[in-house]
Structure 1
Amino acid sequence: MSTVAQNHINIEAELQAAIGANTLHLHYQPKADLQSGQIVGMEALLRWQHPTHGLIPPTVFIPVAENSELIVRLGDWVIQQVCADIVNWLAVGLKPPSVAINISPVQLQDPGLTSRLSHMLQAQNLISDQISLEITENVLMYRSENIDKAFSDFKQKGYLLALDDFGTGYSALSYLKHFPFDYVKIDKSFIKEIPHNPDDVSITKAVIAMAHSLGIKVIAEGVETEAQCKFLSDNMCDQIQGHFFSRPINAEQMQALLKDRPVLDKHLLRMGKPDRTLLLVDDEPNILNALKRLLRKDDYRILIANSGQEGLEILERNQVDVIISDQRMPLMTGVEFLRNAKKSYPETVRIILSGYTELQYITDAINEGAIYKFLTKPWDDELIRANIREAFHYKEMEDENRRLTLQVQTTNQELISANKQLAEMLKQKQKQISRDELSLSIVREVLQYVPMPIIAVDDEDMVVFMNSSAEKVIPASRIELGCQIEHLIPEAGSGMREFSEGLWFPVEVYGQPFDAQWKNMGEQSKPSGKIVMLIDHRC
């Protein structure tokens, strides 16, 4: 235990020195949109290059920083460095997307965080849209007045909020219901084994559906393969982040990436129309070559495999529409291969091409849906081409139905998101109205104690307020809110037209001489109109 404690002290002391010693640096990992395929955000990731021990992972030094509250200094350094990098990208003519910064529980407890963040942005002439904040799920376990206020302040100032690592902590729907998150990030532990692991598939689909029903967008972390990306795209995920699109890179490399403007392949986009891809699987190379020559004229993207296992590996890396497989192959028969393909890639159209008619075996596979058609060798060229065209037509009809469904779901999601924003705006407006009403009540009460007759009129000179001093000099029978000021004090109405603002002019109020002047409202507040003040001429 003493060794652990000593290591803790060493890390804390050296990390404190590292903040000013140029051994800390940031990497950025971009996020790609699954509708446009473009970079729509990036996450800032802290790295510590120790002069002796080399690269120290954040999992080692971040807990130490949080336990010593050094995380506040560390967090401020990250914010300042992110701001500096954004300014550098803007200076070369780039328009970087929002940069996400991770916020720890200790930082959220700091009441000065919001004001310091705003000050650092203002110092670099940046706005809140250029920064987003990622908060890990376990932060919500430490909910307090400071944390609730921090969330409220973040949203009021226009920062986007993301719930990071969703599903790894004490997940609760109440987190999404009671906190103003704009994004949910599905943890990479759920993405790693999709689309093969049915449990992870179910959890991922459920999180996406749940978040969208609340008007929250979804980002998937740790996306490393095309199959994962395609699954997420087909199931309405909004963005991906992971090595499949880009590894974390330094600021200079990110600048080059933003200049190149990379995009995801169109077949990976939510409503994109993919190329026609055909996978041929046969253990005889001459059969594969003959089929390739025959089908090349039909403008397919053709992939080949010499075994069922190789075919599954190709399916894991590529989006395939139609599969044609031989039946008799070593280690794995065609039917076994297509059964596995159906299990992991049910949207493919699967065809057996064989010279052997193992009737019962193949009939069972057709009946259970593993095989779309059974074709025999040797084949008729035109007949096999026609069957393949029919298979692609069937697949494209299914894809079109899915695309239409996704389009409807996307529109519904956008409507839910818009309704959420409108509800938030209405909530803020109602708060503002409540504050204005309270302020108005206070002002009215203060004016009642002013020993000078005061009358307020609107832009059309209609009386909207009189204090108690004014009510004493005007007969009760003549007091009528909503009437014109000329009805109460004729000389006041004409004087407001003849005399400039702030100048005194004489009026007579029911036999008593007064001096009057008027002031415009609205210079320091929202209300408009005029205030008329009276001073007893005898004073």
Structure 2
Amino acid sequence: MRRALEQGQFELYYQPKISSGNGRVSGMEALIRWNHPQRGLVPPIEFIAIAEESGIIAPIGEWALQQACRQNQSWIEAGWSDFPISVNVSIAQFKHKDFSKIVAAALAQSGLNAQFLTLEITESLVMENPELFILELERLKALGLRISIDDFGTGYSSLSYLKRFPVDELKIDRSFVRDISTNPADADICRTIIMIGRNLGLSVVAEGVETEAQAGYLRRHRCDELQGYLLCRPEPASQISVRLAEQTLLYPALWQKRTAFRLALIVDDDALSLQALARALQSDDCRILSATSTAMALEMLATYDVAVVVARRWVGEISGTEFLQKIRKSYPGAVRIMMGDHADLEDVSTELNRGEIYSFILQPWDEPHLRAALQKAFAYRDLKKSLASDFVQNSGQHNERLTHHSEKASR
């Protein structure tokens, strides 16, 4: 690896961060690759750990920092970049007594304004020695750059420390994003991290986004930026330069303006019954989504903003009650309706009384009754959204009044 560094065998690839609001490139992460003369392109997972153990990681990291700063400065001069470039920092680099001076030198040599550089530091590194970390971060922040905590959610950081860290960004670890559409626990973790970031005034990036369902769920819960193979794989600077010059959306389907349909999802493992239900419920202002399995239904719920879910008492070997409870946890805004016979009604009466299921439709159903039940469910959803919006608005006004009174009292 020392020879590789001397001979210029290392290369930086770049992976964009995409604004979830407009689909434009809002950041770029520099990722190192090793162009081995015999083995070809070697990914970092195969050599970074060895580089850290051998001590060569510090000069490799310094080279990567310098190269990334020069690259972003060239994009800025070409008029293609108005965003920060992110560089990962290893433990060895961070513990170097002159690390802040090394960063300052890289900025000075490249001419890059510090506001266009982000240093990504893993959460586990942060928590190794939080007090020391805060001191070093303050030295780095004095340069004017941005700090991101990478792999957030895996390092057990204390919220009391997090509010003291002079950081700008949290990156949700890919392990939580991977099963976000099927695992309520992962969905809860992602929503919580987004909420923490928003309350602390930090931007939140989700890495490892590989499906439309993941992207749709994260966008709907106002994650600031998305990064992953769905949008763009890491590419050499030459290819990224072409993308930046063209200024096109990397995955335009996610940001296409959607028709203002209200969405209902029907879940039934009987294909014929599903078709009949979809035909009966389709209307000018309502679009019907269909799923023959709970797995398919969860993907659709993550991808689309579904207002109403209609499920049979049993979907395959899974009870509709269990499935709707899962939806209630991950998608509390979705109104839940169950279909079944009189025997099923007796089984789910407790859930109905608790409000875990909005309504129960007896079979055989008739079309007018079915349509009326769906319209009532839509109206109920609209009411819930309106009340939630009023609550948020009133809470904001209440907080402003408290702040005003507090400031007045302090004076």
How far is the alpha carbon of 1:265 from its aligned partner?
3.7
Matches within 5 A, 1:210-229: 210-226=196-212, 228-229=214-215
> Is residue 260 of structure 1 aligned with residue 248 of structure 2?
yes
Q: Verify the 8 A CA contact 2:268 2:274 in the aligned structure 1.
A: yes
User: Alpha carbons of 1:177 and 1:392: their partners in 2 closer, same or farther (altered >3 Å)?
Assistant: closer
How far is the alpha carbon of 1:99 from its aligned partner?
0.9
How far is the alpha carbon of 1:399 from its aligned partner?
3.2
Matches within 5 A, 1:15-26: 15-26=1-12
Q: Secondary structure at the match of 1:260?
A: coil
Deviations 1:506-530 (A, max 9, x none): xxxxxxxxxxxxxxxxxxxxxxxxx
Match for residue 242 of structure 1?
Answer: 228
Match for residue 148 of structure 2?
Answer: 162
Q: Which residue type is aligned with residue 260 of structure 1?
A: T
User: Alpha carbons of 1:320 and 1:254: their partners in 2 closer, same or farther (altered >3 Å)?
Assistant: farther
Matches within 5 A, 1:453-464: none
Q: Distance in 2 between the 1:163 and 1:65 partners? A: 22
Q: Which residue type is aligned with residue 45 of structure 1?
A: L
Deviations 1:430-472 (A, max 9, x none): xxxxxxxxxxxxxxxxxxxxxxxxxxxxxxxxxxxxxxxxxxx
> Is residue 127 of structure 1 aligned with residue 107 of structure 2?
no
Q: Verify the 8 A CA contact 1:323 1:351 in the aligned structure 2.
A: yes
Deviations 1:361-406 (A, max 9, x none): 2433423434322234554444433332222222233234445666
Q: Which residue type is aligned with residue 90 of structure 2?
A: S
Q: Verify the 8 A CA contact 1:226 1:318 in the aligned structure 2.
A: no
Q: Verify the 8 A CA contact 1:215 1:413 in the aligned structure 2.
A: no
Normalising by structure 1, report the TM-score.
Answer: 0.61
User: Alpha carbons of 1:214 and 1:353: their partners in 2 closer, same or farther (altered >3 Å)?
Assistant: closer
How far is the alpha carbon of 1:325 from its aligned partner?
3.0
Q: Secondary structure at the match of 1:73?
A: helix
Say which is worse superposed, 223-232 or 292-301, in terms of deviation. 223-232
Q: Which residue type is aligned with residue 72 of structure 1?
A: A
User: Alpha carbons of 1:342 and 1:273: their partners in 2 closer, same or farther (altered >3 Å)?
Assistant: farther
Match for residue 39 of structure 2?
Answer: 53
Deviations 1:264-311 (A, max 9, x none): 84699xxx9975222223344444334434444424332222345543
Match for residue 517 of structure 1?
Answer: none
- Percent of paired sites with the same residue: 36
Match for residue 385 of structure 1?
Answer: 371
Matches within 5 A, 1:262-411: 262=250, 265=254, 275-308=261-294, 310-327=296-313, 330-332=316-318, 334-354=320-340, 358-402=344-388
How far is the alpha carbon of 1:52 from its aligned partner?
2.8
After the TM superposition, list the runs of 4 or more consecutive aligned residues in structure 1 that deviate by more than 6 angstroms.
406-414
Match for residue 419 of structure 1?
Answer: none
Say which is worse superposed, 379-388 or 127-136, in terms of deviation. 379-388
Matches within 5 A, 1:200-219: 200=186, 203-204=189-190, 207-219=193-205
Match for residue 14 of structure 2?
Answer: 28
User: Alpha carbons of 1:26 and 1:205: their partners in 2 closer, same or farther (altered >3 Å)?
Assistant: same
> Is residue 65 of structure 1 aligned with residue 51 of structure 2?
yes
- The equivalent position to 2:158 in structure 1, one of 151, 154, 172, is 172
Q: Distance in 2 between the 1:274 and 1:411 partners? A: 30
Deviations 1:391-424 (A, max 9, x none): 222223323444566678899999xxxxxxxxxx
Normalising by structure 2, report the TM-score.
Answer: 0.77
Q: Verify the 8 A CA contact 2:210 2:228 in the aligned structure 1.
A: yes
**RMSD of aligned C-alpha atoms?**
4.0
How far is the alpha carbon of 1:118 from its aligned partner?
3.7
Q: Secondary structure at the match of 2:47?
A: helix
Match for residue 60 of structure 2?
Answer: 74
Deviations 1:464-496 (A, max 9, x none): xxxxxxxxxxxxxxxxxxxxxxxxxxxxxxxxx
User: Alpha carbons of 1:396 and 1:244: their partners in 2 closer, same or farther (altered >3 Å)?
Assistant: farther
Q: Distance in 1 between the 2:108 and 2:398 partners? A: 37
How far is the alpha carbon of 1:100 from its aligned partner?
0.8
Deviations 1:85-137 (A, max 9, x none): 32443455423421111122322344544444344434444211211111223
How far is the alpha carbon of 1:161 from its aligned partner?
1.0
Q: Distance in 2 between the 1:403 and 1:19 partners? A: 56
Q: Distance in 2 between the 1:316 and 1:35 partners? A: 17
How far is the alpha carbon of 1:360 from its aligned partner?
0.7
- Aligned residue pairs total 396
Q: Which residue type is aligned with residue 113 of structure 2?
A: I
- Higher gyration radius (CA): 1
Deviations 1:10-51 (A, max 9, x none): xxxxx1222244432222233334455543222211122323
Q: Distance in 2 between the 1:88 and 1:410 partners? A: 43
Match for residue 81 of structure 2?
Answer: 95
- Give structure 2 stretches of 5+ with no counterpart: 401-411
Q: Distance in 2 between the 1:189 and 1:412 partners? A: 37
Q: Distance in 2 between the 1:412 and 1:136 partners? A: 37
Match for residue 406 of structure 2?
Answer: none
Q: Verify the 8 A CA contact 2:213 2:300 in the aligned structure 1.
A: no
